[in-house]
Amino acid sequence: MVDPSSVNGLVSSIPITAETDDFNDATSVEKLSSMKLMMRSYVHGALREKDQGNPIRYNELISLLSKSPSQAEALSPQKLYVWILVLSQSVSQLDKSCASLVDAILHVDWAFRDRSFSDAYINFLENLVSAHSIYVVSVLNTLVSGLRYRSQLPRFAVVSRTNAYERNHAALRSVLRLIPTSINSLFVSIVRFLPHRRFNSAEQAAYIKNLFEITQYLPVMRKQILSLVVDHMAQMDAHIQIELDDLEEEVEFDAYNMRFDEDYISDESDDEDDVNGDDSSVASADSEFSSEREGEDKTQQIAQVKSMVRRLDAMMTLTFRYLAKIAIDQPDICSELYHTLVDTFDRTILKTLKSRYTQFLLFYLCSLNVTIYSDHFVDHLVAHITDPLRPGITRIAAAAYISSYIARAKFLEPSRIQRAITMLCSWSEEYIEQQEMKTDHPDTTKHDVFYAVMQAIMYIFCFRWRDLILEDELEVEDEIVSDGVTESSKKWCRGLRNLPRLIMSRFNPLKVCSPAVVRQFAKLAHHTHFMYVYPLLKKNKDVVISGINADVSPMGSKNLLVTVQTFFPFDPYKLEGSKSFIDGIYFEWISEDDDDESDESESEESEEEDVTTSLMAMSISPSPNSFLQ
Q: Is 417 helix (H, G, I), strand (E, B) or coil?
A: helix
pLDDT for 329 beyond 90: yes
Where b means 16+ CB within 10 Å and e means fewer, 300-337 reads: ebbebbbbbbbbbbbbbbbbbebbeebbeeeeeebeeb
pLDDT tens, position by position, 105-137: 999 999 999 999 999 999 999 999 999 999 999
Q: Is 29 helix (H, G, I), strand (E, B) or coil?
A: helix
pLDDT tens, position by position, 616-625: 444 434 333 3
Average pLDDT over residues 144-153: 96
pLDDT for 425 beyond 60: yes
Confidence bin at 479 (pLDDT 50/70/90):
very low
pLDDT for 558 beyond 80: no
Q: Is 189 helix (H, G, I), strand (E, B) or coil?
A: helix
pLDDT tens, position by position, 12-57: 444 333 334 444 455 567 777 888 888 999 999 999 999 999 999 9
Q: What is the per-residue pLDDT for 352?
A: 86
Question: Would you list the domain boundaries of the chain?
Answer: 1-108, 359-618
Rounded to two decimals, the pTM is 0.84
* Inter-residue contact 356 to 237 (CB < 8 Å): yes
pLDDT for 97 beyond 80: yes
Amino acid at 480: I
Q: How far is CA 19 from CA 154, 164, 382, 409, 544, in A?
A: 18, 18, 65, 60, 85
Long-range pairs for 158-164: beta carbons < 8 A, 24 or more residues apart: 158/112, 158/113, 158/114, 159/111, 159/112, 159/114, 160/263, 161/206, 161/263, 161/264, 162/263, 163/111, 163/112, 164/111, 164/112
Q: Where are the beta strands (DSSP E) in 171-315?
A: none
- How many CA atoms, within 13 angstroms, populate the side-chain half-sphere of residue 322? 25
**Torsion angle of the four alpha carbons 326, 328, 331, 337, in this order, in degrees rounded to the nearest 10:** 30
90: nearest Cα among 56, 21, 137, 43 = 43
Q: What is the per-residue pLDDT for 563?
A: 73
Long-range pairs for 265-268: beta carbons < 8 A, 24 or more residues apart: 265/202, 266/149, 266/151, 266/200, 266/201, 266/202, 266/203, 267/201, 267/310
Terminal-residue alpha carbon distance, the chain: 81
Phi and psi, residue 472, nearest 5°? -95, 110
Radius of gyration of the chain (CA): 32
Average pLDDT over residues 376-380: 98
Average pLDDT over residues 318-328: 97
Where b means 16+ CB within 10 Å and e means fewer, 68-97 reads: eeeeeeebbbbbbbbbbbbbbbbbebbeee
